[in-house]
Amino acid sequence: MAYCWGAGACGQLGLGAAAARGPVRCRPGPEAGGGWTLLEAACGERHTLLLRPDGTVCSCGANSRGQLGRKLRPGQRPPPHSYTPEQIQALEAQIIVHVSCGKEHSLAVCNRGKVFSWGAGSEGQLGTGEFKEQSLIPKKIDGLSALRIIQVTCGHYHSVALAQDGRVFSWGQNTHGQLGLGKESTSQPSPQHVTSLSGIPLAQVAAGGGHTFALSLSGVVYGWGRNNARQLGLNHANTRDYKDKNYSQVDGFQMQLQHGLEQKLFCFCSPDKALTFLVLVDAVVGVYVNMRSQGQGNTIHQMLSSERKEAISHALGICASPTEQVFKPYAVAALKTIGVVYISCGDEHTAVLTQDGSVFTFGDDSAGQLGHRSSTQMPGPQKVEWIDGPVSHLACGSYHTLVYMSASGQVISFGRGPQRHIENGTTSNPGEQTQNFDISSLVSANDLSGVQVKMIFAGTYVNFVSTLQSQDLEQARGISPADTLQKISRLDRTVIDKWMAVTAGTDEFQEAKREIAMIFSSPACLSASFLKPSSALEANCVGVDLQKARDVFDELTKKEWIVNQINYYLWADLIPDLPLRSPHHEALSIFLLLPVCSVMYKEQNLEPFVMRLAQAINSMSDRSSNILEECWSSLSASFLDNVVQMFKKAVVSQLPYYAFPRCRDTKPLLEVLEKLYKANRKANYTLQLSNFYINEISGTFILPNDVGRWRSWQATANPCHEDDVPIIFCRFPFIFNLVSKIHVFYFDSFFMQEGAKVEAQFILRQNELLRKSELPELPVFPLLVKRSNLVEDTLRKLSLVEDSVLKKQLLVQFEGELMGLDAGGVTLEFFLYVFEEMVNPQYGMFVYCDPASPMWFPTSPSVEKKKYFLFGILCGLSLFNRIIAFIPFPLAIFKKLLDKKPSLEDLKELSPVVGKSLQAVLDYEHDDIEENLQIHYCVSWDNKEVDLIPDGSSVAVNNKNKKDFVNRYVDYVFNKSVEVVYEEFKRGFYKVLDREILRFFQPQELMEVAIGNANYDWNKFEKNAVYWGMYSPSHPTIKMFWKVFHELTLAEKKGFLLFLTGSDRIPVMGMDCIKIKFNPHVTMSEDHIPEAQTCFHILILPQYSTIEKLREKLLLAISNNRGFGKN
C-alpha cells in the first residue's frame, strides 16, 4: 500500500481526474484497493514515476515534454496529462530498480545498471548526445553503457549518476556549475566524468534545482552548483570552525584569523613578514585582498589569483569564488563532523540526516522549508531543534521538507508549496489556481500512526509514502533511506571468503574475477573496503585502516589466481587512474593503501608498479601533493617505514644500471623519497634518518662517479634539459649513510685538489709545445711556518693567501727542518700544535664556563676580530685536507654552521650549571615561581649583566613567560652575544669549504668528521692489529706489549694513540679505521725506545726480553710523543 497527498492539478497524484481539482489530504495512494505496492516514487515538477517491486514503472501527471514515456500510435499526439498511473511500455522488458525525475525529464536504472532517459532534453539532460527538445520514449544512454550505474539523481535541467566503480558522471545544463566540471565547461548532452571526485568512496549523489551533492561513505559532504540562497552550505559562516585557531598555513603564507570574524576578515602574512594580505571574504563578490608591504605606507588593492583563492577556500571551508555559483565540488566544512548519512535537496534548499537522527537544513527559507522557526535566518547548516525524537527518513520537496520518525510513527512536514502571483485571478496553465497552497497543512503528524512506513518521497506539489508488507516488518525495522541506496563495490568478509573458496571454471569463479576487476581497478572501491569509522577520522587524516588492509592483502595473495588478477588490474587500470589533482583527503587514501599491498614488493613488480606509482605521485598537483605529505606525516612509524622501504627497494633494483640511460627512471623514486623525508621531518622524525639510507650505495663505484656527475651538472645546469640529466644521487643526500657522506666529501675535496694538479700539468705541457717559459700556478698550497712562532706566523701567511689557493692540497713545512715527502704526518702535527695553542684559555680567543666544558666565543673579545676569520679558515683547511684535529667546540657550533637552532640541551653542554638551572625553571609548576625563584629578564653571562628584553631587570619570570625567558637566554648565549665574532669565524670556514656539501651532514655527524670522537674500543684496537715480519699475535714481545698496553691508564692509552697516529681522537667511522702495524727492527736493540711512523700507523717495536723493560720503554716513548718522527 502507498499513501499520498498534495495538489495534483496535472494528475501527478495518480488518483484520477476528481483528485486534480484541489489539494488532497493524506490518503491511500493510487490503486490502493487492489493491493498495489510502491517500491519508489520520483516526482518532477508536474509528473510522477511510480516504481513497483516487480520492476515495472508507471507514470502520471503532465506530459507536455513527453516526460511520461508513453508510446504513441502513428499520428497520435501525446496527451497533455495523465490522471492515473499507466505502465511505461517501453520499459516493460527491463527490471527497473531505481527512478528519478527532473523538472520535465525522467531517468530509470535497470537491474543491469543501464540508464534510460526520456522527456525534455533541450539542455542535454537526457544524456543522449544531443540537445533535443524532447524524447517521448525511454532510450538507453549509450555514454554509460560500459558502466554499471547504481544511482541517478536529477536537478531541474541536469542529471547525475553514480557508477558501481565509484565514479560520478553528470550531464545537462551547467549554467550554475551544477555538473561539477569546472567553469570552462558548458552544458553537456552526454555523460561526463566528474574528475574532481575521483578516488572518493561515495555513498550517495543528490541534486536540487540547480545544485548537486555527493556524500562519501565517511560522511563528508561535497557540494557544487547554484548557491544563490546558500543551499550548498559553503559560505563565510563556516569560518566559525576556526575561531580557536590563531594560525594556519595556506599556500605558503602564514594565516592569522582576525578577531572580527563577523566581518569575515583574514590576514595572511608571508613567512618573512614582508608582505601582509588583508583578505575580505564577501558572500556576494567573493574574495578581495589588500596587500601591504612592510615599512611602506602605500597599499596595493588586487584580486587574488584563482589558484590562491582555491587554496584559501579549501583551508577555510568557504567558497572563494563569487558564491552565487560553484563550479567544482567543495567539502562542506560545517558538515564534516556531524555524521551525515543522507542528503535530500529541494529547489533552493538542502536537508541532511545524521547518524543520530538529527536534521540539519540550509538554503532558501522563504517558504519555511528549513524549519528553523526564527525570524532571523542563521547562515550555514543549522539543526532543526524542535523535532522531538530521532528522525528515520527525510525527503525534500521543492519548497518543503518531510521527515518521518519511526519510533513515534509521526510524519512531520514544514514549508509550503510554490507561491505564484496570479494577475486578475486568471492563469494560462490549467490547474495553476490550485498552486497557491500550503502542502504541509495536508498532513498531520499522526495521520500515518499505525502504518509501517518504509520510505517517504517529496516533490514540488505532491508527497508519497511507501509502506512495509507484513512479511517485511522484522527485516526492515530500523532501515534508513541510506540503507536503501545501492552501494559501490567493496571488499568485505563475505566477498573474501567467497573468493577464497571458489573453484576454477565455475560461474562463481567468473563472478569473482569480475568483482576483483571492479574493486582493484577503482581507487574509490579499494579505499571503500578499508574505511575507518567516521569517529576515527577527526583526530587523524588517515581515513583507511592500514592494518586491516595489510591483513586482507596477505590473505588474498595466498591464492595465485587472485594474485594474477590483482597484478593485472593494478597495472592496467588502477595505477593509471590514480587521482592526481584532487584537493580532498579522502581521494588520496589509495596512495596509503598501495604500499601495504604485498604484491607491490615482489621483484618483478617494482618497475611496473612502484616506479609508475612514483611517476604518478610526482605528477600530482601541488595541493594534492601537500595533502599526501600531510597524510604521510600522520602515519605510525611502522606504516611510514613501509612506504619508505618500498621505494628504497625499487631504487636498489636500479643500481646495476647506474651507468646506463635506463637509470634515469630512478629519479622519480628518489623524488618521492624526498617528499617522504620532508613528511617525516614535519612529523618530528617519526622515523630515524637511517631508515632513509640506501646502504647498497656505499663502497661502490657509484659514489666517485656520482660526485663527478654532480659537480658537472652544477656547472652546466639547465632546467629546460632536466630530462636528459643522468641520475645524480648527490642531489638526494638524505639517502647517504654516514660512510657514504664521508666518501662523497672526501672524493669531492680530492677531485678538487687533483684537478688543480691536472690543470697545472696540462698548462705545463702546452707551454712546452708552444716553447713558452711560463710556469703554471703551483697546484698545491705550500705553507712554510716557523715552529718557534707558529700561530702568529701561520695567521700572517694565511691572511696573504688568495681564496683559490685554499682549495688546493695543503703541504706544511717547518722552517729549518728537513723537507721530505709529507704523507700527512707533518700537516697533522701542524694542526695539532696550532689548535692546541689557539684554544688555550691563555691565548684569549675563547672562554670556558668550567675546565671540563667546551669552549665558546667571548662576548667581549680580547683579540682582533680578524683572528676569528683566520681561525675559521684553519678549521676549514683541516677538514678539507681530511685532518682530525681536536677543537673543543660544543655541538652548537656545528648546528649554527648548518643553519639549525641551538637549544637548551646545547646550553647544558656548554654550561651545565646554567643549563640545569633553566631546566629547573621550566620544570617548576607551582604558582609561587615569582616569589620563590625571583628571576627576571636580566641575566649574567661572561661576566656581564644583560637585559634580554628592554627593561628586563623589572620584568619577573612567571609560569606564563618562562618558556620565552629560556628561549631568549639560549638565543642570547648562542646568537646575539657572539654575532660579530661568530660571523667572522663562519666566513673563514666557508672560504675553504662548500656549504652545499656540508649540508649533507647532520650536526653531530659533521662534528665527528671534523674533530673525531672519544669512543675508544681497545679490544677492537688489538683485534685489528697487523703484524709484519717475525711478529704475530703469539710472539712473546707482542703478547707482552698487549698485556702492558691494557694495563695503562686511559690518559696513557690516549697518549700512545697520539704517539702512533698524531691524534688521540677516533675517526667518525670508529676504531676500525685505526689499524696498528707492528714492524720488528732487526738492528734495534732492547735499549731503543719504540718509534712510530704516524702517516701509516706503523709501530717499530724492538724485541724486549722482559715485560718490565717493554713497559719502561713504551712509557718513555709516550712521554716523548711530540715532534714528527717520534724518534
pLDDT at 474: 52
Cell numbers found for residue 1101: 717495536
Place of cell 679558515: 873
d(CA 284, CA 753): 67
CA nearest neighbour of 588 among 634, 546, 645, 544:
544
d(CA 359, CA 662): 59
d(CA 988, CA 878): 12
d(CA 351, CA 398): 12
Cell numbers found for residue 1113: 720503554
What's the CA dihedral at 554, 560, 561, 563 to 10 degrees?
Answer: 40
Cell numbers found for residue 229: 540562497
pLDDT at 819: 67
d(CA 665, CA 684): 30
Q: Which amino acid is at 259?
A: H
Pairing of strands 1026-1027, 1077-1079: parallel
End-to-end CA distance of the chain: 114
pLDDT at 35: 58
pLDDT at 450: 81
pTM (2 d.p.): 0.84
pLDDT at 369: 94
What's the CA dihedral at 798, 804, 808, 810 to 10 degrees?
Answer: 0
d(CA 490, CA 529): 5
CA nearest neighbour of 134 among 188, 193, 69, 179:
69
Helical (H) or strand (E) element with 984? helix 979-992
- The catalytic residue positions are 1095
Low-confidence spans in the chain with pLDDT less than 70:
32-36, 75-76, 235-323, 375, 377, 419-436, 470-478, 535-540, 719-720, 819-824, 1121-1127
Give me the DSSP letters along 1056-1121: HHHHHHS-SSBPTT-GGG---EEE--TT--TTSPPEEETTTTEEE----SSHHHHHHHHHHHHHT-
DSSP state letter for 147: S
pLDDT at 541: 73
Grouping H, G, I as helix, E, B as strand and the rest as coil, residue 135 is strand
With contact defined as beta carbons under 8 Å apart, do 946 and 971 qualify?
no
Q: What is the Rg, in whole angstroms, of the alpha carbon atoms belonging to the chain?
A: 40
CA nearest neighbour of 320 among 282, 349, 348:
282
d(CA 768, CA 774): 9
d(CA 406, CA 390): 8
pLDDT at 498: 96
CA nearest neighbour of 522 among 198, 210, 1005, 848:
198
d(CA 973, CA 950): 17
d(CA 721, CA 405): 67
pLDDT at 280: 47
Place of cell 657522506: 741
CA nearest neighbour of 448 among 477, 468, 476, 462:
468
pLDDT at 251: 39
With contact defined as beta carbons under 8 Å apart, do 406 and 412 qualify?
no
